[in-house]
């Protein structure tokens, strides 16, 4: 399995386990659009990939150079194919799940902190009311 570009070993292993063949990938270069001025609008630096068996398409225009966009597109395509095949067991889905759990934990901690501050404030208020009542 020789891809037309040099991919990191991690993605080559993923492609091998998912049985992604470079022959099944249709690749074309198109002109970009949006921010970047003449460089983006006049050169075909945007990369479009389609995996024929799964009909998953990817279009990448993150970088100004076509070679960097090409690498990013292949990485993204392999990740998307992995998600479609493995579902919740894919690495990407597991990362998202982990981040969500961390955020839930953080929100619990912030709630506890808010309640602690609220209790402290109410204690201060109750002490103040005792002073006012004793003066009368």
Secondary structure letter of residue 49 according to DSSP: E
Q: How far is it, in rounded angstroms, from Cα 115 to Cα 95? A: 31
Q: Is pTM, for the whole model, over 0.75?
A: no
Instruction: For residue 29, give the H/E element and its range.
Output: strand 25-30
Beta strands in 42-102 (DSSP E): 46-51, 56-60
> How is residue 38 written in tokens?
């003449």
34: left (phi over 0), alpha (psi -120 to 50) or beta: left
The number of C-alpha atoms within 13 Å of 39 and in the hemisphere containing its C-beta is 7
9-87 placed in CATH 3.40.50.2000: no
pLDDT number for residue 134: 61
Q: In sequence order, what are the beta bridge partners of 29?
A: 47
Count CB-CB contacts under 10 A for residue 58: 20
pLDDT in tens, 63-96: 888 999 999 999 999 989 988 888 878 787 888 8
Grouped pLDDT means (10 residues each) for the chain, 136 residues = 85 90 92 77 89 93 90 93 84 85 79 90 83 61
């Amino acid at each position: 399995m020789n891809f037309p570009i040099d991919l990191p070993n991690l993605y080559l292993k993923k492609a091998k386990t998912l049985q992604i063949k470079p022959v099944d990938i249709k690749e074309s270069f198109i002109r970009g659009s949006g921010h970047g001025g003449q460089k983006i609008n006049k050169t075909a630096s945007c990369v479009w990939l389609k995996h024929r068996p799964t009909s998953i398409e990817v279009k990448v225009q993150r970088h100004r150079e076509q070679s960097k966009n090409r690498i990013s597109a292949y990485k993204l395509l392999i990740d998307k194919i992995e998600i479609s095949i493995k579902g919740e067991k894919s690495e990407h889905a597991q990362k998202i799940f982990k981040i969500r759990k961390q955020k839930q934990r953080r929100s619990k901690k912030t709630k506890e902190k808010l309640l602690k501050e609220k209790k402290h404030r109410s204690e201060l208020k109750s002490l103040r009311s005792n002073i006012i009542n004793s003066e009368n």
